[in-house]
Structure 1
Amino acid sequence: MSSDVKCNKCNQVITQKILTALGKSWHPEHFVCRECGAPIKDPTFNEKDGEPVCVACFTSKYSDVCFACKQPIREKVIKALGQTWHEEHFVCNGTCNKPISGAPFYEREGKAYCKDDFEKLFASKCTGCTLPILDKAVIALDAKWHKDCFKCKKCNKAITSDTFAVEDNKPLCTACTA
């Protein structure tokens, strides 16, 4: 049995310089890109189906393309909303424009939003204070209210009963109508 090392490309015995990569041995001049055939001399290269691929070919043929900038993604790929993104380009479409990779986000019409911007832009607004309603709402007088904002027009106390009066389209508690 021979212990001679054979080149993965030409299957000939390697007698001088030997290059070992991808768990195989090669004549240095036979360690070439599977796509363009150019010798790979850089210490950085890629692999496809067990064969070496130069960085340029790998980027052009196999890298995902960022939905935002249309450039190849060479680092971490973010997959969201049916698209691929550079980590720094997957950002909130609201007012903050902050990266939201790795954070919970909300989707509306195919766009991503951070929690704060989503609430500011799309949550129902309270008729009393105009802030977003993030919990249960009181629905009265054809409007939505925070529970604590649905107050009597006269005494300013929260109306907690199902019965109230209306004056100038504002609620009045039963005590102030008597």
Structure 2
Amino acid sequence: MSTKDAGPAICNSCNAVIQGRIVTALNKKWHPEHFACNTCRKPIDGSKFHQHDGGVVCVPCYAQHYSPRCHGCGEPITDRVIQALGVSWHANHFVCGGCRKELGGGGFMEQAGRPYCSACYAEKFAARCASCSKPIVDKAIIALNAKWHGACFTCKKCRNPVTDSTFSVLDNMPLCGKCA
């Protein structure tokens, strides 16, 4: 046990002895009125503050001046930030450009700078099958100046899938080797 007196508390801001209430923060001691925001210069009340450029900043000033801004609404982001498409978003503003469902920072497709869920992207932007007109989201067969689902590229006569690399054509539709 040490009997040595640590001496009076000295304010980190004004270097005067602190009488009464002491604010201790960042391993230093302060007069309550001297522990102030570097931006608005008001004393920081409570225990929440941010460090910025070697100083302290109150929560409102940090949100207003230093927090990233949401690309969706333009407001400061003070909680979870989603970084996508080169910008920052509130989680509830990072939504599909089609169905408006929250994307939550998961997988998405991009078109003209807007995020889309895979279902909306396929419906709006994917190539369409020449046979069924539904979106092609996987491998496509490219033949007869069109794109086809593998299961839709069928013989005009027998309706079986055409899987050979060579086939005949009748009325711009494929014919398998057996039906040709």
TM > 0.5 between the two?
A: yes
Shift of 1:2: 6.8
The 3-state SS of whatever aligns with 2:178 is helix
Q: Which amino acid aligns with 1:42?
A: G
The 3-state SS of whatever aligns with 1:28 is: coil
Q: Which ranges in structure 1 are unaligned for 5 or more consecutive residues?
A: none
Q: 1:56 and 2:71 equivalent?
A: no
CA contact (8 A) 2:72 2:89 kept: yes
Aligned to 2:176: 173
Which SS does the other structure have where 1:58 is aligned? helix
The residue aligned with 2:113 is 110
Percent identity reads: 48
> Which residue number in structure 2 is paired with residue 137 of structure 1?
140
Are the aligned partners of 1:128 and 1:149 in contact in 2 as well (CA < 8 Å)? yes
Aligned to 1:10: 14
Q: What is the number of equivalent residue pairs in this alignment?
A: 176
**Structure-1 separation of matches of 2:115 and 2:90:** 14
Instruction: State the Cα deviation string for residues 70-120 of structure 1 (Å, max 9, x = none).
Output: 111111222221212111111111x22122232022222212122222222
**1:149 matched to 2:114:** no
Q: 2:37 aligns with which of 13, 33, 40?
A: 33
Give runs of ≥4 in structure 1 deviating > 6 Å: none
User: Are the equivalent residues in 2 in contact too, given 1:32–1:38 (CA < 8 A)?
Assistant: yes
Q: For residues 19 and 163 of structure 1, what CA distance do their matches in structure 2 show? A: 83
Q: Kindly indicate whether residue 47 of structure 2 is the aligned counterpart of residue 46 of structure 1.
A: no
- Separation in 2, partners of 1:134, 1:60: 43
Q: How big is the shift at 1:69?
A: 0.7
One-letter amino acid of the counterpart of residue 179, structure 2? C
2: CA distance between counterparts of 1:126 and 1:37?
64
* CA distance in structure 2 between the aligned counterparts of 1:19 and 1:83, rounded to whole angstroms: 38
Question: TM-score under structure 1 normalisation?
Answer: 0.87
User: Structure 2 CA distance, aligned partners of 1:156 and 1:106?
Assistant: 34
SS at structure 1 position matched to 2:47: coil
**CA deviation string 1:21-65 (max 9, x = no partner):** 222211112111111211222333222234322222222221211
Amino acid at match of 1:57: C
Contact 1:22 1:50 in 2 (8 A): no
